[in-house]
Amino acid sequence: DKVSQVHRTAYHFQPPMNWINDPNGPMYYKGLYHLFYQYNPKGAVWGNIVWAHSVSKDLINWEALEHAIYPSKEFDKNGCWSGSVTILPDDKPVILYTGIDPKKRQVQNYAVPKNLSDPYLREWDKPDDHNPIVDPDKSVNASAFRDPTTAWLVDGQWRMVVGSRDKDTGIAYLYRSKDFKEWVKAESPLHSLEKTGMWECPDFFPVSLSGENGLDTSVFEKKGKHAFKVSLDVTRYEYYTIGTYDKENDKYIPDEDSIDGWSGLRFDYGNFYASKTFFDPSKHRRILWGWANESDTVKDDKEKGWAGIQAIPRKVWLDANGKQLVQWPVEELETLRTNEVQLSNQKLQKGEHIEVKGITAAQADVDVTFSFPSLDKAESFDPKWEKLDALDVCAQKGSKVEGGLGPFGLLTLASEKLEEFTPVFFRIFKAPTKHAVLLCSDASSSSLGNGLYKPSFAGFVDVDLTNNKLSLRSLIDHSVVESFGAEGKTVILSRVYPTLAILGKAHLFVFNNGSETITMEKLGAWSMKKPQMNEALKK
């Protein structure tokens, strides 16, 4: 029997079928972007993990290639888990990845292209010489030792980090090598922190102090800043800090005002995990890939025959305030825009909603700027909330709870009579010393379906409100709503599974449910075309 595929995404990265998880080894090489990813060739649940491989000229249209890395040696007999690519001098890419060995130990291996003149880099060799390059020594927990990073070069020696834990202390073990084969563990880790648990998929990279350009992973600017990200196994959230890299002592030191731990900054306050960045020399930018798991039931995943997507690749850079990163969908995404609709200067009184007509609302890109006369009507911030996650505040103060300044924003994937909708909205509070801006992407009203995970994802937005404006962009793609608040300062990805608001029956509205009148200053909305998405195996 034919399963309905109403929730399959059109322009997010997906293979034709089966389970996917972490993005692996993203790179730009000889005019092509490569993406590898954790893949189960045999089904829609996690298992039998190989590195599937796709290439693209524009990060939007993808061609599927043969699997690049799959169990074929003793040192990866039980699985080929996550890892990274480093491009060595003379344009030679090398993969570092975690293999699961016959004793189920996690070991670090390397692989090199069989034929460097093939721009597709289809076939990879895992030499017996020096593999595995890193074995867990006696001090290391061999079942929590994985996900090697892209390496960086300091004074002629490569460094890379492997994620781990010692009891509940998260650890980024540091290794050094002169030739990329002989690796020696440093006496102390690059970074570690108690009570954070296993550090999966660490990522460590330099950021420019000004502008939006990215830096190659081995570039160190005077007084430069670095970002360090980990994926926390226990909560399935990631967090990052901004800090400095002390090259002499090979230590990463988070800035004093950058929270190191569970409540630190996140790339994304929604469904986004095991992310990885890479430097794109062709456009001098750093790009972030992240995995968005299903929020559907496992039974549905199996019936559909697929599970997992990759978020739209995002350019990432340091905010002008030096305190956080900013993200924006890569500009190439805009080539998919069609059926443009522009609206401007429309007032929204309390309780009003305006439909955005003329686009395919289930497969769209919408970018809107709101303004308001003043901050006077902002509700006061309940001090009790200080102890809560933003998500809990959003669960209490949803889009249907009337406010002062907000809630206002978008109702995405909405059914005609609003039995289903995923609101993405701002709500502004008067906090003791300043205003607190909450961005919420609330899945609780997204579907009449049963057994779904429907969290009220939310994050605070550290934004200057002196011009009384806030902007919001949402990428809507059937079962995903990926939203960028305040030009990418706070980002939230939600997976949702409407039963009524599907395909041509989905609607998009702009709404306000606060006593202050909001002006929709300008809105651009587009239907999104379907790119080539891994259908054909490139010959």
Q: Token digits for 379? A: 């509700």
The minimum distance between CB 82 and ligand DQQ, in angstroms, equals 4
Q: Do residues 169 and 146 touch, judged by C-beta distance below 8 A?
A: no
Selecting among 22, 260, 296, 301, the annotated active-site residue is: 22
Specify the residue, 42 or 434, whose C-beta has the smaller distance to ligand DQQ: 42
The minimum distance between CB 456 and ligand DQQ, in angstroms, equals 24
Q: What is the DSSP string of 229-276?
A: EEEETTTTEEEEEEEEEETTTTEEEE-TTS--STTSB-S-SSS-EEEE
Specify the residue, 146 or 397, whose C-beta has the smaller distance to ligand DQQ: 146
In the complex, which residue's CB is closest to ligand DQQ?
81
Specify the residue, 238 or 379, whose C-beta has the smaller distance to ligand DQQ: 238
The minimum distance between CB 308 and ligand DQQ, in angstroms, equals 10
Residue type, 283: K
Q: How far is CA 183 from CA 19, 91, 279, 286, 523, in A?
A: 33, 21, 24, 27, 53
CA distance 52 to 41: 9
What's the DSSP call for residue 134?
B
Q: Token digits for 70? A: 């799959």
Work out the number of other CB atoms within 10 angstroms of the CB of residue 532.
Answer: 12
Specify the residue, 170 or 485, whose C-beta has the smaller distance to ligand DQQ: 170
Specify the residue, 50 or 356, whose C-beta has the smaller distance to ligand DQQ: 50
Specify the residue, 200 or 280, whose C-beta has the smaller distance to ligand DQQ: 200
Work out the number of other CB atoms within 10 angstroms of the CB of residue 366.
Answer: 23
Residue type, 267: F
Q: What is the DSSP string of 12-76?
A: SB--SSEEEEEEEEEEEETTEEEEEEEEETT-SSS-S-EEEEEEESSSSSEEEEEEEE-S-SGGG
The minimum distance between CB 83 and ligand DQQ, in angstroms, equals 8
Rg (CA), the chain: 23
Active-site residue, 22 included: yes
Q: How far is CA 363 from CA 236, 241, 272, in A?
A: 27, 34, 20
The minimum distance between CB 21 and ligand DQQ, in angstroms, equals 5
Q: Which residues here bind ligand DQQ, judged by CB under 6 A?
A: 21-22, 38, 49, 81-82, 98, 146-147, 200-201, 273-274
Q: Do residues 39 and 18 touch, judged by C-beta distance below 8 A?
A: yes
What's the DSSP call for residue 185?
E
Specify the residue, 236 or 357, whose C-beta has the smaller distance to ligand DQQ: 236
The minimum distance between CB 111 and ligand DQQ, in angstroms, equals 15
Q: Token digits for 23? A: 């993005």
Q: How far is CA 137 from CA 184, 185, 243, 370, in A?
A: 11, 9, 29, 56
The minimum distance between CB 531 and ligand DQQ, in angstroms, equals 26
The minimum distance between CB 73 and ligand DQQ, in angstroms, equals 17
Which residues are registered as beta bridge partners of 367? Answer: 473, 524
Specify the residue, 148 or 398, whose C-beta has the smaller distance to ligand DQQ: 148
Specify the residue, 147 or 365, whose C-beta has the smaller distance to ligand DQQ: 147
3-state secondary structure 483-518: EEEHHHCEEEEEECCCCCCCHHHCEEEEEECECCCE
The minimum distance between CB 20 and ligand DQQ, in angstroms, equals 10
3-state secondary structure 68-91: EECCCCHHHCCCEEEEEEEEECCC
Beta strands in 431-477 (DSSP E): 435-442, 456-461, 469-477
Active site residues: 22
